[in-house]
Amino acid sequence: MAFAHPCDVLSIATAALAYSAHAANHYSPNSIDGTIADLPNVQQKIGEAELLRMRSRHFLYSVARKWDESTSAEREQMQGELGAAKHSVVNDALSIVDLAMRVVGAKSLAADNPLGRYYRDVRAGLHNPPMDDMTIIQLAKSTFERHP
């Protein structure tokens, strides 16, 4: 299934983060007292993923709000911002799912584990326009135009 909208990939990444946090709160290997949620390296990964989720959400909704409040003429000038939001959200979502999989470990690759599906579905966002390279080139060109 391909997800064209950045909200889709952000929702998937949010589900992956929730799954990994829940798993960390409940998995207690014999080698430690407590759960893996108590381990600093797991806390680091979950914290990084949450920061990416928050940043993506704020960026995406900020651009959406600007779109909603803009005239059609102003919207024509928003291509760079729309592409940047899509690029950032999709790539941050990929990082979130990767961090979630690192927390869960090899179990995340099991056929019945949703993280494998989340990983595949988030990657689908890379294949929807605008493509990353075109977004970056468009941003560079608009920067050059603003600063001749």
- Going by C-beta distance under 8 Å and a sequence separation of 6 or more, which residues neighbour residue 50? 17
Query: Per-residue pLDDT tens for 43-59?
Result: 999 999 999 999 999 99
- Residue 125's pLDDT is 87
Tell whether omega for the bond before 114 is within 30 degrees of 0, i.e. cis. Answer: no
In angstroms, the first-to-last Cα distance of the chain is: 43
Write down the pTM of the prediction. Answer: 0.91
Structure tokens at 90: 């999709």
Asked whether the beta carbons of 117 and 132 are under 8 A apart, the reply is no
pLDDT tens for the chain, residues 1 to 148: 444 577 899 999 999 999 999 999 999 999 999 999 999 999 999 999 999 999 999 999 999 999 999 999 999 999 999 999 999 999 999 999 999 999 999 999 999 999 999 999 999 888 888 889 999 999 999 999 999 9
pLDDT at residue 130 in the model: 85
- The pLDDT assigned to 7 comes to 82
Domains and CATH numbers, the chain: 6-27+37-146 (1.20.140.10)
